[in-house]
Every structure is written in structure tokens, then in C-alpha cells.
Amino acid sequence: MAKRIFSGAQPTGNLHIGNYLGALRNWVALQHEYESFFCVVDLHAITIPQDPEVLREKTREVARLYLAAGIDPAVSTIFIQSDVQEHAELAWVLNCVVRIGELERMTQYKDKSKKQRENVSAGLLTYPALMAADILLYQTDLVPVGQDQKQHLELTRDVAERFNRDFGETFRIPDAYIPKVGARIQALDDPLKKMSKSDENANGRIGLLDDADTIRRKFKRAVTDSGTDVRFDETRPAVTNLLTVYQLLTNQTREEIEAHFAGKGYAQLKGDLADATIAFLEPYQERVRGISDEELGRILRDGADKARAIAEVTMRQVKERMGIVGA
Ligand code: AQP
């Protein structure tokens, strides 16, 4: 059987260059080597409150962003999570396999529950069981994600191993694929925080659909470190973060970049970075606009059909192994 990839993004706001550089870009590169499944994970999005109208719109927007990034529906399966009911069904089963202590140790849960205070949904806690279901349904080999999802992936492996041990060999154990560069793009307003869609300060992220003026303004305002020289240096996280984005967008080596900025200051870095980002995003946005509603609908329906055919097989095996037989 061809090796499989599964990954997804949540329609929880505007996708940013962190999502692109940490995840989408690698999906595009890997899709020709693997049988690939890319999902818009709307059921994950509702673990925190969402406006239904906005969620509907963002779900389709994320699918458009996948296509415009270069995910090719002729070779990859693109679909919306809620169109394949086995995701929710297997998530319930895995909720009965995962331990509460394991879920409570997840750093994303700790961070996000702090922001929700007393209104934390049970779904926010059990989010990793749904993510495990997404991955395990497709007997996935590799999961290309950013650094922030590493812990969830480790839990997915643990849950799959536990299920296999208790009920017999059922799930393939997936590996994470985390890029060496770009796995954690930091926020522009705080280099110690990751760039995030749901952060209330939009100045911390560059949205994939931001216009040129907004991009220039956000980079101009970006926090920098003390010192003046522009080079990669772990002890200067803000400048290193900007340089990492520049490196990935221009495909230059670190040496070439440091030579280019030798003797120049932060203003030059910010200006050149804005130019490189706009040069990348303008044609990207043009491609997003070029995808008609009809074409998108057809791709998503085909994708859901293909995904469902595989998910059903896994789900049937899971139920048989557990003794869930129905009438
Ligand atoms: N800052 C980042 N740098 C690199 N990769 C990132 N990813 C997210 N943020 C960064 C990766 O993008 C993929 C899709 O992310 P997600 O939709 O699952 O959301 P998330 O990981 O919870 O992070 P976001 O985008 O900031 O969303 P919110 O604010 O809603 O939590 C994943 O592979 C992720 O690792």
C-alpha cells in the first residue's frame, strides 16, 4: 500500500504565514510522494466558541487556501472533516481509550483553557482524541505539522498503541513530520509567543489574505531585539524569526541572507521582508480568487467520498474488535 499522509488546519480565523510555512508548504511538497489527505477540521474549531456564519465562510476559505497553495485535487484528497461522520464516531471510541490525565497534560489545552476561563468546553480537553481519530482513520504513516502539534501527535501514537495492544492490531502508528526550518514561526508582537490565528492582536500575524499595506504596516511595527546587526542568532529571537520567514520565502541560504543584510539595519530587513511576502502573497491571493464556488464544491464532495470509503473500513474494524455490533 502507498504510504499515507494526513494533515489539517482549523477554520478558527485567518490562516497566517506560520500555518503556511510550518504546514501547508510541506503538504504541497510531499503530496507527490505519498497518498495524501488534507482536511479542514471544522469539528476541532468548535472546541472554542465560533460564530456559525463565520465558521461556514472560513471553512470554505481554508479549503480555497489549500488549493491555491498548490494542493492538487488530482493527486490529493481535500475534504471537510464534518462531511465524514467516522471522525466523530472514532473520536468517541478513542475518548474511551485515552486517559484524562494524558489530556490534562497537553500544553495547548492548558494555554487555551486559561483564555476561556470558566467556559472551557469538554471538547477542548478531548480535542486530541478527535485529532487521533482524524489521523488513525486513514492508517496514516506521516503527519506533517508545525512544532505546536508534536505533543498531540505523540498522544495519538500512545492511544493507537494502547488500542492495538488491548483489541488487536488495528491502527498503523504514525510519525510526525516537523520541518527543520519554519516549524514554529513566532508572533510579530512577541517573539516568545507563536504566531496564532486566534490571538486577539492581529498585528502579531501576517494573514495569507492580508493586503500589501497591511503587510508593510505589520512588519514595520514588528518587535525587534536590542543590537543593530541583522543575522541569525538564537539569543535574538525577534530578528531570527523575521529572518526565518525571509529565508523560507526567498529560498536563500542563511549565509546569502546575512551577506545581503551586512551593514544594513532593521528597517531594511523589514522593508525587504515585506517586499518578499507581498511578492509571494499577491499571486497566491489571485489564485484563491480564481477558484469558483462550483469548482470548490465539486472538489470537496469528491474528496469526502474518497475519504469516507477509507474511513468506513477502519471504523468497521474498530467496532468489530471492540464488540460493538449493533442490532
Ligand atoms: N506559528 C506557527 N508556526 C508554524 N506552524 C504553525 N502551525 C500553527 N501555527 C504555526 C501549524 O499549522 C497547522 C494548522 O494549524 P491549526 O489550524 O491546527 O491550528 P493551531 O496549531 O492550533 O495554531 P493556529 O493556527 O495558531 O490556530 P489557533 O490560534 O486557532 O490555535 C498545524 O500543523 C500547526 O502545527
User: Which domains are delineated in the chain?
Assistant: 4-178+293-322 (3.40.50.620), 202-288 (1.10.240.10)
Give 226 Cα–ligand 1 centroid separation in angstroms.
28
Give 183 Cα–ligand 1 centroid separation in angstroms.
10
pLDDT at 326: 84
Atom of ligand 1 nearest to the CA of 19: 12
Atom of ligand 1 nearest to the CA of 197: 29
- Give the integer Cα–Cα distance in Å for 36 and 286: 25
Atom of ligand 1 nearest to the CA of 108: 22
Give 196 Cα–ligand 1 centroid separation in angstroms.
6
pLDDT at 116: 79
Cell of 168: 488487536
Query: How does pLDDT run across 86-110, given as a tens digit for each residue?
Result: 999 999 999 999 999 999 999 999 9
- One-letter amino acid at 271 equals G
pLDDT at 206: 98
Q: What is the mean pLDDT of residues 254-280?
A: 97
- Percentage of the chain beyond pLDDT 90 is 94
Catalytically annotated residues: 112, 194, 197
Residue among 44, 39, 23, 48 nearest 145 (CA):
23
Atom 35 in ligand 1: which residue has the minimum CA distance? 146
pLDDT at 325: 87
- For residue 267, name the pLDDT band (cuts at 50, 70, 90): very high
pLDDT at 115: 83
- Ligand 1: residues with CB < 6 A are 9-10, 12, 18-19, 22-23, 145-146, 148-149, 183-185, 194-198
Contact by Cβ (8 Å): 127, 149: no
Give 11 Cα–ligand 1 centroid separation in angstroms.
10
pLDDT at 5: 98
- For residue 122, name the pLDDT band (cuts at 50, 70, 90): very high
Q: Which residues pair with 7 in a beta bridge?
A: 38
Q: Name the pTM for this structure.
A: 0.96
Q: What is the mean pLDDT of residues 296-325?
A: 97
Ramachandran class of 117: left when φ > 0, alpha when ψ lies in -120 to 50, beta otherwise: left
Does residue 1 have a pLDDT over 80?
no
Query: How does pLDDT run across 6-27, given as a tens digit for each residue?
Result: 999 999 999 999 999 999 999 9
Give 179 Cα–ligand 1 centroid separation in angstroms.
14
Round the average pLDDT of the chain to a whole number and report it.
96
Cell of 222: 514588528
pLDDT at 118: 78
pLDDT at 111: 92
- For residue 144, name the pLDDT band (cuts at 50, 70, 90): very high
- Best residue among 10, 127, 242 to mutate for probing ligand 1, ranked by most atoms within 8 Å of CB: 10
Query: How does pLDDT run across 36-71, given as a tens digit for each residue?
Result: 999 999 999 999 999 999 999 999 999 999 999 999
Does residue 310 have a pLDDT over 90?
yes
Q: Which residues pair with 144 in a beta bridge?
A: 177
Query: How does pLDDT run across 24-40, given as a tens digit for each residue?
Result: 999 999 999 999 999 99
- Best residue among 5, 6, 12, 19 to mutate for probing ligand 1, ranked by most atoms within 8 Å of CB: 19
- Give the integer Cα–Cα distance in Å for 273 and 260: 12
pLDDT at 61: 98
